[in-house]
């Protein structure tokens, strides 16, 4: 039962990430910054962003609608949970080791949001990693 509740928490966190993601283009002035790029590169960034959003929606929807199935310990549920854990582990590694957000953390709310997202990514790795390995 604990695993079901953790996966439901994971669903909520996925939808929370979508709220934060909706703020990124405005906060980082994508419209102005991307105008400096050729049209193809500009479109690719928007397309990749849209696919990431769709993936997060999918993770959240699966976790909300099929929490019990994801927690049942079957090979398939463990594989799906493992994939989600690896996805968020990769994102967490990028957050910590590659992406330098400091120039954009100009207000206290942005600093709190950045560290909040880091905590959410960590939580998702732990939740889905637990579901995959238990």
Q: How far apart are CA 45 and CA 48, in angstroms?
A: 5
Range of the domain at 73: 2-133
pLDDT single digits (tens) 37-93: 999 999 999 999 999 999 999 999 999 999 999 999 999 999 999 999 999 999 999
pLDDT in the model for residue 8: 98
3-class SS of residue 107:
coil
* Overall residue count recorded for the chain in this entry: 134
- Read off the pTM: 0.93
E-assigned strand segments in the chain: none
The contacts of residue 125 (CB under 8 Å, 6+ apart) are: 85, 88, 89, 92
Number of folded domains in the chain?
Answer: 1
Phi, psi of 104 (to 5 degrees): -100, -10
């Amino acid at each position: 039962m604990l695993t079901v509740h953790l996966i439901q928490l994971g669903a909520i966190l996925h939808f929370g990430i979508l709220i934060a993601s909706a703020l990124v283009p405005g906060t980082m002035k994508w419209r102005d910054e991307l105008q400096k790029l050729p049209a193809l590169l500009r479109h690719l960034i928007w397309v990749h962003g849209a696919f990431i959003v769709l993936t997060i929606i999918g993770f959240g929807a699966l976790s909300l609608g099929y929490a019990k199935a994801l927690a049942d310990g079957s090979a398939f549920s463990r594989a799906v949970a493992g994939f989600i854990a690896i996805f968020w582990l990769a994102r967490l590694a990028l957050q910590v080791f590659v992406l330098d957000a400091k120039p954009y953390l100009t207000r206290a709310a942005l600093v709190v949001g950045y560290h909040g997202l880091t905590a959410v990514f960590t939580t998702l790795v732990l939740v889905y990693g637990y579901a995959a390995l238990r």
